[in-house]
A and B are shown apart, each in its own frame.
Chain A
Amino acid sequence: MKDNYQLVIIGGGPAGLAAATTAANQGVCCALLDEQPTLGGQIYRAIESIPKQRTQQLGDEYTRGKPLVTAFRESDTEYYPETKVWSLNKQREIGVLYKDEARIIQADQVIVASGAMERPIPFKGWTLPGVMQAGAGQILFKSAGVVPDNGVVLAGSGPLLLLLAWQYLHAGVDVKALLDVTPLSNHLLALPKLPKALLAHHYLTKGIGYQIELKRAGIPLLFGVSDLRAEGEGYLQKVSFKHFGKQKNIESELLLTHFGVIPHAWLTQSADCKHQWDDSQQCWRPEHDEWGNTSLDGIIVAGDGAGIHGARSAEHAGRLAGLEALFALGIISQTERNKQGIQDRKWMKDERYIRPFLEAYFKIPQSLLATADNDTIVCRCEEVTAGQIRDAVKKGHDNSNQVKFFTRCGMGSCQGRQCSNAVAHIVADEKGESVEKMGHFRGRPPVAPLTLDQLACLNKELI
């Protein structure tokens, strides 16, 4: 690993792969840093090593990752797997943990393609062993062929639940039920956005197709579910919920939940790029222009880390970010950038027609965002409950960061990744203010835990 690069790309998912390939193929000296040992991000995880039969069970969208990875391998990008990025600042100094040693590298341009993470929604019992996120189930499936062996309940809201149920069905997994907590009133609210969504109708037909197949297979799909709870002594034993006002239980040792995804924006937040609250996507995301430029010179974002638009869109955004870096480095002219970007800009626009409909249809209700039940743990690391957060607000701590100082909520090893949004919503709810005003936790380096041993490698002469 060198000390200086013209371009550093952070993240090996579709956006990062496309950005690196675009830039490297036009002669840029670039490095791609990725935390995982294999390429593809979470969406195309293990795409290079997966057995063929498992690819079929995962569906055709998954195989789109293959040409992306192949093109990247053929490019001259320096690829650093198992490399953790723990810091980024406006001078574009990147704190990296590589082979268990911390170091700082400098880049003229940085493309942050950090991807998405599941939106954490605290609910009663979500910390019990046996409760996991749906994305976790999918990662186990893709990366290791590991699937539930004693049945599973899927619950939450969003297209991933249907996809995962379909994938499990094809792998012979017993899906006990799919509990959809999407408020039925969303259907009506999403209706005006439907005509535009029809321009990307392949997503809609796919979703409907999954539903039909699941129903035919006899999997109970319950809509209008509320009051989701995970119950059990020490481990999950049953999932309880209300369905049209009626209390129901399903015995299960495994519950996979999904409430949409949000940008994994910790790095751009700690670099102090400007972030804005996106009301439609219900998340914070870095402000950026159509090429991915953030408020900081030379820091470009691409893919779901810039705002949730899905894997295909990420690929186009990655290419555009790569072109922007080429332009910023003086390798191509603005005219050339615009010319080379025409096709991807068009495709990206086409991809995004579906989003406003999906965002309205799967809008998470306030009662889930702002954890209604006061006994529910919100901060998994420091075990702080919604009630303790509300108490802190009542005592005069009136934004997310003050609540963090007072309660330790968000100060554990995940550094607030799991509770940041919920805290902002609870404080906003309590104060009768907008979430935007409550702010997000202040991100600070290192954004990933480092040991002093590792950090000391920055100056070996001192050791």
Chain B
Amino acid sequence: MFKQLPATDLETVRVIVNGQSISVTKGMTVAATVLSQQQKYTRTTAISGSKRAPFCMMGVCYDCVMVINGKANQRACATYVEEGMQIEIQQGAGSDLVGNEL
């Protein structure tokens, strides 16, 4: 869906998206990262299980929530990549809400 325009002298970090390690530009949001990795959806809804992806990119719609470093319901558009960050698609309400990890 998206690609990153070429730019020089940009620092990179490595993050793990759905188990796959990739190199991305420092300072990017998780949402920008996954969109430019051709990730078509970033969560499924808790009610109907339908697929969703980032929508507003400015933190108001909460449609881009993902599981980041094991924590569910993190807005991908308001979270910035860090070295070693684990990014996963969120299924429904997210595991730490339904109690799987308790």
Q: In whole angstroms, what is the CA distance A37 to B27 when docked? A: 9
Instruction: Name the B residues within 8 Å of A414 (CB-CB).
Output: 60-63
Please tell me if B85 contacts chain A, counting CB pairs below 8 Å.
no
| Residue from A51, A136, A145, A412 within 8 A of B56 (CB atoms) | A136
| Residue from B7, B56, B65 within 8 A of A117 (CB atoms) | B56
Instruction: Name the B residues within 8 Å of A413 (CB-CB).
Output: 62, 65, 73
Closest to A415 in B: B62
User: Are A147 and B5 within 8 A (Cβ)?
Assistant: yes
Interface of B is mostly: loop
User: Are B2 and A133 within 8 A (Cβ)?
Assistant: no
Please tell me if B13 contacts chain A, counting CB pairs below 8 Å.
no
Instruction: Name the B residues within 8 Å of A133 (CB-CB).
Output: 55-57
Please tell me if B66 contacts chain A, counting CB pairs below 8 Å.
no
Chain A interfacial residues counted at CB < 8 A: 46
**Minimum distance in angstroms from B76 CB to a CB of chain A:** 12
Known A-B contacts A37-B80, A146-B36, A254-B1; A51 and B53 likewise in contact (beta carbons under 8 Å):
no
Please tell me if B69 contacts chain A, counting CB pairs below 8 Å.
no
User: Are A140 and B62 within 8 A (Cβ)?
Assistant: no
Instruction: Name the A residues within 8 Å of B25 (CB-CB).
Output: 144
User: A-facing mask of B1-15, CB < 8 A → 1, else 0?
Assistant: 111110110000000
- Give residues 33-85 of B contacting A (CB, 8 Å): 35-36, 40-42, 45, 47-48, 50-63, 65, 73, 77-78, 80
User: Are B80 and A140 within 8 A (Cβ)?
Assistant: no
- Give residues 186-237 of A contacting B (CB, 8 Å): 234-235
| Residue from B4, B27, B29, B47 within 8 A of A383 (CB atoms) | B47
User: Are B32 and A140 within 8 A (Cβ)?
Assistant: yes
**Minimum distance in angstroms from B78 CB to a CB of chain A:** 7
User: Are A380 and B61 within 8 A (Cβ)?
Assistant: yes
Please tell me if B16 contacts chain A, counting CB pairs below 8 Å.
no
User: Are B56 and A135 within 8 A (Cβ)?
Assistant: yes
User: Are A382 and B1 within 8 A (Cβ)?
Assistant: no
Q: In whole angstroms, what is the CA distance A285 to B70 when docked? A: 39
Instruction: Name the B residues within 8 Å of A135 (CB-CB).
Output: 56-58
User: Are B2 and A117 within 8 A (Cβ)?
Assistant: no
**Minimum distance in angstroms from B4 CB to a CB of chain A:** 5
Q: In whole angstroms, what is the CA distance A35 to B80 when docked? A: 12
Q: In whole angstroms, what is the CA distance A77 to B25 when docked? A: 30
Q: In whole angstroms, what is the CA distance A133 to B61 when docked? A: 11
Q: In whole angstroms, what is the CA distance A376 to B92 when docked? A: 21
Q: In whole angstroms, what is the CA distance A150 to B36 when docked? A: 11
Instruction: Name the A residues within 8 Å of B63 (CB-CB).
Output: 127, 380, 414
Q: In whole angstroms, what is the CA distance A150 to B60 when docked? A: 26
User: Are B54 and A144 within 8 A (Cβ)?
Assistant: no
User: Are A145 and B61 within 8 A (Cβ)?
Assistant: no
Instruction: Name the A residues within 8 Å of B3 (CB-CB).
Output: 146-149
Q: In whole angstroms, what is the CA distance A417 to B60 when docked? A: 7
Q: In whole angstroms, what is the CA distance A37 to B78 when docked? A: 9
Q: In whole angstroms, what is the CA distance A328 to B65 when docked? A: 41
| Residue from B8, B35, B50 within 8 A of A140 (CB atoms) | B35
Please tell me if A171 contacts chain B, counting CB pairs below 8 Å.
yes
8 pairs of A and B residues whose beta carbons are closest in the complex: A129-B53, A149-B3, A136-B57, A413-B62, A144-B32, A145-B5, A139-B57, A129-B41
